[in-house]
Each structure stands twice: as structure tokens, then as C-alpha cells.
Structure 1
Amino acid sequence: MVFMHANASHCPLCHQPNHCALAAQRESDTCWCHHQEFPPKAQLSKAQLPKAIAPDVCICQACAEALRLEVKLGVKRVD
């Protein structure tokens, strides 16, 4: 089953608020993500970042941290 995420203000992975400045119609440089480092997309497995996620929808801080930790530990999701 594939879920398409239609609300840009919610994380497409956990469906919680993502606190995206752009979705809240604020300046992009005020967004929390501008102060974060993200793992390279090539290091993420397909299970970690499904194709059904629109490229212009932001994940939340909790999911970003979980992805960073999974990449650091070399964890591969099976869900």
C-alpha cells in the first residue's frame, strides 16, 4: 500500500507536524532544516526514503535524526 502525502506541513514519514518554515509561509532561512546536516540520499535505503514521498515535502526533526542515526550505525530497515 502506498501513501501519498498531501499536506506539506506534516512529515511524510511519521505524519507529525514537520515545522517547515516554507509550509508556514515564512522565509526559508528561518527553517530548522537550514541548521542541520542530512545524510547523502545515496546512503539511504529505499525503505528509509520511499519513492512515494514528494521531493518538496519536508521530513520532521525526529525523522531526520532517526535517518542520521540509521546511516551512522549502518542499520537497514525492513519495514
Structure 2
Amino acid sequence: MDTQRCPLCGKANRCSIAAGRSDEPCWCFGAQIDPAALERLTPEQRDMACLCPACAGAVDAAQRTERD
């Protein structure tokens, strides 16, 4: 599994940790992830890669992080 891709849609998940920037927090650390999005993951996909902001239902949080 490509950890830089969303397991639901395959687009870039914008995860700073997977991109090797472990010195900065991932956008998802401050986001509230939609529980319905997590339910769409198979057991094999869970805890393997971040969802993208759109699939996570957390677009606002990702945009705030980009501006900071």
C-alpha cells in the first residue's frame, strides 16, 4: 500500500509523516475525521495510510494547516 495515497480514492493524502516530514504534524492531527469515512475502510486498510482531507470529511482542517 502506498502510504502517500488515500486508501479510499487513491489521491495524494497530504500526510506529512508519510512524506518524510516527521518534524511537522500531519493535517489530520488537528482534524475531526468523519466516522463514516473510517467505516468505509477494509480491515486491511485501517491504520496503514491516511485518508485524504476530502474522503476524511475534514477539508477545512487541511486548508487551515496549509495557511499556517
What's the TM-score bracket when you normalise by the shorter of the two chains?
Answer: 0.5 to 0.7
In structure 2, do the counterparts of structure 1 residues 39 and 62 end up closer, same or farther at CA, with 3 Å as the change threshold? closer
Equivalent in the alignment of 1:57: 49
Equivalent in the alignment of 2:7: 12
Identity of aligned residues (%): 34
- Runs of 4+ in structure 1 deviating by more than 6 angstroms, as ranges, are none
Instruction: Give the whole-Å Cα distance in 2 for the aligned partners of 1:13 and 1:45.
Output: 9
Structure 2 counterpart of 1:21, which letter? S
Q: Offset of 1:21 from its aligned partner?
A: 0.8
Confirm or deny that 1:30 pairs with 2:22.
no
Mapped contact 2:37–2:55 kept (Cα < 8 A) = no
In structure 2, do the counterparts of structure 1 residues 18 and 28 end up closer, same or farther at CA, with 3 Å as the change threshold? farther
Q: RMSD of the alignment, in Å?
A: 2.6
Q: Offset of 1:51 from its aligned partner?
A: 1.9
User: Which structure has the larger Rg?
Assistant: 1
In the superposition, the TM-score normalised over structure 1's length comes to 0.58
Gaps of 5+ in 2: 59-68
In the superposition, the TM-score normalised over structure 2's length comes to 0.66
